[in-house]
């Protein structure tokens, strides 16, 4: 998985450190700038990057905004409606601080909980 190449957003340039930061994460990982615009995503985060760029995931955008504005790690379980049914994600947004203490970027990682939730529902029935 570490050999998967990260996808760079066309409107921002990612540094080698930005790419290195997210490249080895086994799930979806995206780095966004201080305004919440995607900078770079790993291979598994490419779809989520497109959704963020298109404004299709308001709950994740709100989580990123909360993490950035308060300079705190923010985490939530978010359900996204897709053409194949609901997708359940455990999303964590971690602000990365500049030397002056301001939030420079935010790293967003997501773990897909959909299968786990579906299996749990099936077992309960």
DSSP string, 41-94: E-GGGHHHHHHHHTT--HHHHHHHHHHHHHTS-EEEEEEEEETTEEEEEEEEEE
Confidence of residue 7 (pLDDT cuts 50, 70, 90): low
- The domain covering 7-124 belongs, at the CATH homologous superfamily level, to PAS domain (3.30.450.20)
Compute the Cα dihedral for 95, 99, 102, 105 and give only its sign.
negative
pTM: 0.81
How confident is the model over 95-109, as a mean pLDDT?
94
What is the tens place of the pLDDT at every residue in 45-66? 998 888 887 777 899 999 999 9
What is the tens place of the pLDDT at every residue in 11-35? 467 889 899 889 889 999 999 998 8
């Amino acid at each position: 998985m570490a050999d998967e190449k990260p996808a760079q957003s066309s409107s921002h340039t990612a540094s080698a450190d930005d790419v290195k930061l997210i490249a080895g994460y086994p799930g979806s990982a995206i780095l966004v700038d201080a305004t919440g615009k995607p900078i770079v995503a790993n291979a598994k985060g490419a779809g989520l990057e497109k959704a963020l760029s298109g404004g299709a995931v308001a709950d994740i955008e709100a989580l990123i905004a909360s993490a950035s504005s308060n300079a705190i790690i923010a985490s939530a379980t978010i359900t996204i409606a897709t053409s194949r049914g609901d997708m359940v994600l455990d999303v964590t947004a971690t602000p990365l601080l500049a030397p002056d203490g301001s939030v420079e970027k935010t790293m967003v990682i997501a773990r897909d909980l959909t299968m786990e939730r579906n299996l749990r529902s099936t077992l309960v029935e």
